[in-house]
Structure 1
Amino acid sequence: MYLDIGNEHLVREAALSGRRAASETAIILVICVKGLTRVRRDYSRYSITTSFFSAQELDDLIVALRSLGFYVQHFHDEVEFINWAAEGGLDALRQINKLVYAGSINGTGPGRRCLIPSFCALEGIETLNSDAYSSAINRHKFHWTKLLGSFGLRVPTSWLFEPGKSWLAGSTPSPGERVIAKALHEDSSIGVSAEGVGEWSPKIAQHVVELASDLNQAIMVQSFIAGMEVEVPVLELGAVRFAAPTVLLNNSGASDAADFLTYDLVWDDRYRYGAHEMLTPMHQTRLRAAAIQACELLNFRFFSRVDFRLDAAGNEYIIDISTTPHLTRQSSYAHLFATLGLEYADVLAALVGAKLAAARPQSSAQY
């Protein structure tokens, strides 16, 4: 089973708590949408819009929330929301609970995911996201990789190329070592391509230099871990935090050890999720423990996610983290809730329930 009976019960109770609070709760969505949001800054080859919701994904989210009785208001980007809130828009809402959820975000480079948590903290507005610090470190791959590694969590060996400064501490991969190049501050596989994966060579080194120039940021190069990729949703419900490993598959239903999510695959949503039974009980236990420890160390809140690769020896390596995993119908969270026999709307209801259990906004709902 994905979750033991006790944790499954907590999920159901959180969803029920969220449903009960719906009539007195306003959900303010700050989510960028493909074709609708004005892109404030972008890259020429790798557009940040790959991380935006599609119009259909946004509609699914809003319809699900409204079907439960939540009041929902959506803003296409952070500036639009901040201007509205500063003019008293939030104060004018009649609902007792007013909760802001920042999903896909605008702009490029470091730190931008912390804008909404910072603003809301300043104004005393409740959010469904992690705090500003956790949201910021989430977008600096090299820092969180080194931090988690220092606590004994298994992470790939990493190197950092800084444009204008060359390689950090003069350290580079050894010739012939299999590596993968990643944009330091971006998500949704922005900057990841076949040209940046392979045995370390002058050709890949040149690709790193060009990628740093294209994206105007440092590039992290990591040892490529060949093996199964696993997304692990981590849920914080009250005083309990637990995790549910979910195997990532390609569209053919396979989990090839040499596969990796490129920018093009993410853009086209060419992936899906497989049964957790593909993992041995031992691997499930270790993945859960490592994911929970990572989220506790970084103080991720409510719903978060940790991604792993399992090598040929069965060792788990953390390759990515997210304070704000997508909660679309094609997400590991939606997959998890479906396996529990819950509706898509329960994903959102449980997120609200998680907030109610932690912050206790005014509410007649009992968790």
Structure 2
Amino acid sequence: MIFYVALADAQRLIERFQSTAGTITVAIVANIKEALDYEEEYPEAALATEYFSEYEIRHIVNAFQEIGAYVKIYTGEDSFMRSVLDGEFGKLPRKNRMVYNSAQSGTGPGRKSLIPAFCQLHGIPVCNSNPYVTGLARHKYHVASLLTAHGLPACPSWYYLGNGRWMLGRTPPEDVLLIAKAAYESASIGLTDDNVGRLSPVFLAALDHKIRILRQPVIVQRFIEGFEVEVPVFEHAGAQPLGVVSITLDGQKDLGRRFLDFDVVNRDGYGFSASDHLEADLRTRLARDAASVFDLLEVSGVGRVDFRVTPDGAHYVTDVATSPHLVQHSSFAWLFRSAGLPDSHALALLAAVNARRFGWI
């Protein structure tokens, strides 16, 4: 389902940006797969699945240049921070400079907050959410707990610390099908078939192994059989959903017990589709709840809220992205493309929303 009113608002915002883009530089801070030395890795899960390929970087640069912005690329956090500290960043052309960060070098919690925090310290406008929100959204259990406390449909969740220890002694029922995910990761890092099962010594042994190799706890959630959808959201007089996009595997919308594991995500082995198979009222509720999550977590610019939906229409938030992918293989780009607009408008919207937030348009 595409919300054409929201897309029209997005288009008008992009057009306003284009009228002043000649004054704007976009500095991209990114990890690039082909430029990494892979010194810091997990033994059984490549961090590079979170990073951009050179092809994707070219697409991002072209999208910003098409709307008239000047673009500068920094590979990794170190190169950008050195540029700021030695004064090179301040000499970039055009008076209005914004930073678009996707870099998250290293492992563990909070690593995607480094550039937003550094930019905040130095008074540099950044397209991402603030450091606190960026770090918070990467802690899946904390997000689920906040949503539950505010009456939003979070997936029932427990927090496993390893070696038989559960946060506050809370354990899931033995008769419920469960899925375990790395607490601080995205892009399905560490997610394989043995992450799904019922509470048992065998299942806990598998989770203990995951915790050892990923060096972090896991969030254990009720496994929701059925559909998976993404709701892209942008900031426009509050949170504005763009549409409800279904995820497909082998062309099928009803995933049943299938899910986006590490292998599928790493090779972009999933697709996007309209959600017309869902009742209109359900699509409205998904959009409304996605907007509420965006507002509750105080996400800035653009974001995405992911759900699993049962065949009878119950829906549960499974993930929140404060820096969602906006490249060609993304639900943002799919929505624009499906409306007959260039998929590069997904990145143009990011620039336009933030230029307005900074008072430049």
With the length of structure 2 as denominator, give the TM-score of the two structures. Answer: 0.96
**What CA distance in whole angstroms lies between the structure 1 residues aligned with 2:40 and 2:27?**
24
Where relative contact order (Cα < 8 A, 6+ residues apart) is larger, the structure is 1
Q: Which runs of 4+ in 1 moved over 4 A?
A: none
Determine the structure 2 residue equivalent to 1:155. Answer: 154
Whichever residue aligns with residue 59 of structure 1, its letter is R
**What CA distance in whole angstroms lies between the structure 2 residues aligned with 1:104 and 1:272?**
25
State whether residues 53 and 104 of structure 1, in contact with CA within 8 Å, keep that contact through their aligned partners in structure 2: no
Aligned-residue CA RMSD in angstroms?
Answer: 1.6
Percent of aligned positions that are identical = 31
Alpha-carbon distance, 1:40 to partner: 5.1
Partner SS, residue 162 of structure 1: strand
Determine the structure 2 residue equivalent to 1:3. Answer: 3
Determine the structure 2 residue equivalent to 1:114. Answer: 113
Whichever residue aligns with residue 221 of structure 1, its letter is V
Whichever residue aligns with residue 3 of structure 2, its letter is L
Partner SS, residue 25 of structure 2: strand
Determine the structure 2 residue equivalent to 1:348. Answer: 347
The gaps in structure 1 that reach 5 residues or longer are none
State whether residues 116 and 129 of structure 2, in contact with CA within 8 Å, keep that contact through their aligned partners in structure 1: yes
Determine the structure 2 residue equivalent to 1:18. Answer: 17
State whether residues 181 and 220 of structure 1, in contact with CA within 8 Å, keep that contact through their aligned partners in structure 2: yes
Moved more, 14-23 or 265-274: 14-23
Alpha-carbon distance, 1:238 to partner: 4.6
**What CA distance in whole angstroms lies between the structure 1 residues aligned with 2:294 and 2:39?**
31
Say how many residue pairs are matched: 361
* Deviations 1:83-141 (CA, angstroms, capped at 9, x unpaired): 11111122101212101001242111101111111111110000111111110101111
Determine the structure 1 residue equivalent to 2:193. Answer: 194
With the length of structure 1 as denominator, give the TM-score of the two structures. Answer: 0.94
* 1:49-128 matches, cutoff 5 A: 49-128=48-127
1:211 lines up with 2:210 in the alignment = yes
* Deviations 1:191-218 (CA, angstroms, capped at 9, x unpaired): 1110111222221111111111111111
1:248 lines up with 2:247 in the alignment = yes
Alpha-carbon distance, 1:347 to partner: 1.8
Partner SS, residue 46 of structure 1: coil
State whether residues 239 and 292 of structure 2, in contact with CA within 8 Å, keep that contact through their aligned partners in structure 1: no
Determine the structure 1 residue equivalent to 2:180. Answer: 181
Partner SS, residue 205 of structure 1: helix
- Compared with structure 1, are the counterparts of its residues 3 and 254 closer, same or farther at alpha carbon in structure 2 (3 Å cutoff)? closer
**What CA distance in whole angstroms lies between the structure 2 residues aligned with 1:344 and 1:2?**
14
**What CA distance in whole angstroms lies between the structure 2 residues aligned with 1:38 and 1:80?**
15
State whether residues 15 and 351 of structure 1, in contact with CA within 8 Å, keep that contact through their aligned partners in structure 2: no
- Compared with structure 1, are the counterparts of its residues 275 and 241 closer, same or farther at alpha carbon in structure 2 (3 Å cutoff)? closer
* Deviations 1:154-210 (CA, angstroms, capped at 9, x unpaired): 112211121468211222222232000100000000111101112222211111111
1:142 lines up with 2:125 in the alignment = no
State whether residues 238 and 295 of structure 2, in contact with CA within 8 Å, keep that contact through their aligned partners in structure 1: no
Determine the structure 1 residue equivalent to 2:320. Answer: 321
The gaps in structure 2 that reach 5 residues or longer are none
Alpha-carbon distance, 1:284 to partner: 0.9
Moved more, 293-302 or 167-176: 167-176
State whether residues 162 and 211 of structure 2, in contact with CA within 8 Å, keep that contact through their aligned partners in structure 1: yes
**What CA distance in whole angstroms lies between the structure 1 residues aligned with 2:84 and 2:304?**
29
Determine the structure 2 residue equivalent to 1:270. Answer: 269
**What CA distance in whole angstroms lies between the structure 1 residues aligned with 2:108 and 2:250?**
31
**What CA distance in whole angstroms lies between the structure 2 residues aligned with 1:323 and 1:254?**
25
Whichever residue aligns with residue 34 of structure 2, its letter is G
State whether residues 327 and 347 of structure 2, in contact with CA within 8 Å, keep that contact through their aligned partners in structure 1: no
Alpha-carbon distance, 1:315 to partner: 1.1
Partner SS, residue 241 of structure 1: strand
